[in-house]
Amino acid sequence: MFSREWFIYVFGRWILLAGIAGALLQVLLREQLGIPDFPAFLLNQLLLACVFWYVDKYIFQRHFGKVKQLFKFPRIKGKFEPRLEFAKITEEYNQLAVDFSKDPDHPQIWLNRFLDLYHSVEMMERVLRDKGIDVDREYHRILGENRKRGLYG
């Protein structure tokens, strides 16, 4: 939770931008326009909400874009079980292996089968996530193990 990005968001967006802008706007509304404190505060919050709706939307769009990028393929309709998805992964792998063995140096021969396999693996991940399996925790555990083994540059 307390990442570098979190601190930038809290201090940059909330304290510096909203805090300082809010204080300045409050002074402007109260001192320059003569609006009493409480109505000035409410107007201040409304104006800041109108501005920061777009700021937050921009900030979080980047994060939601990452979530969208998690899966390349659209979700297939229907109910799925791990056993069925495993069978599909096996089927797709076997088809890829046959096409790949024809000519490994020409991806156009086997690329479609490779992407079918990729899609079936994505579907297995969706099935696991739907069942409440913490796929991300396992992913980060594997990354940590691989870093310790020096597999990443």
Place of tokens 């001192």: 31
**Average pLDDT rounded to a whole number, residues 95-120:** 97
On whether both 102 and 60 belong to a single domain, the answer is no
Structural domain count, the chain: 2
Residue 62 lies in a domain: yes
Residue 29: closest CA among 19, 16, 14, 44: 44
Name the residue range of residue 30's domain.
4-69
Q: What is the spatial distance between Cα 140 and Cα 136, in angstroms, rounded to a whole number?
A: 6
Residue 62: its pLDDT value, please?
Answer: 61
Residue 77 lies in a domain: no
pLDDT tens for each residue of 46-95: 988 888 887 777 777 666 555 555 788 888 888 889 999 999 999 999 99
On whether both 64 and 88 belong to a single domain, the answer is no
Q: Are 85 and 123 in contact (CB under 8 A)?
A: yes
* Non-local CB neighbours of 153 within 8 Å, separated by 6+ positions: none
Q: What is the spatial distance between Cα 77 and Cα 46, in angstroms, rounded to a whole number?
A: 42
On whether both 56 and 98 belong to a single domain, the answer is no
Q: What is the spatial distance between Cα 110 and Cα 113, in angstroms, rounded to a whole number?
A: 5
Environment class of 59 (CB within 10 Å of its CB; exposed 0-12, middle 13-18, buried 19+): middle
Domain finish residue from 17, 42, 69: 69
Q: Is the pTM of this model over 0.75?
A: no
Residue 74 lies in a domain: no
Determine phi and psi for 13, rounding to 5 degrees: -80, -50
Q: Are 135 and 125 in contact (CB under 8 A)?
A: yes
Residue 14: its pLDDT value, please?
Answer: 79
Residue 76 lies in a domain: no
Residue 120: closest CA among 78, 98, 146, 90: 90
On whether both 91 and 59 belong to a single domain, the answer is no
On whether both 90 and 142 belong to a single domain, the answer is yes
On whether both 40 and 92 belong to a single domain, the answer is no
On whether both 133 and 109 belong to a single domain, the answer is yes
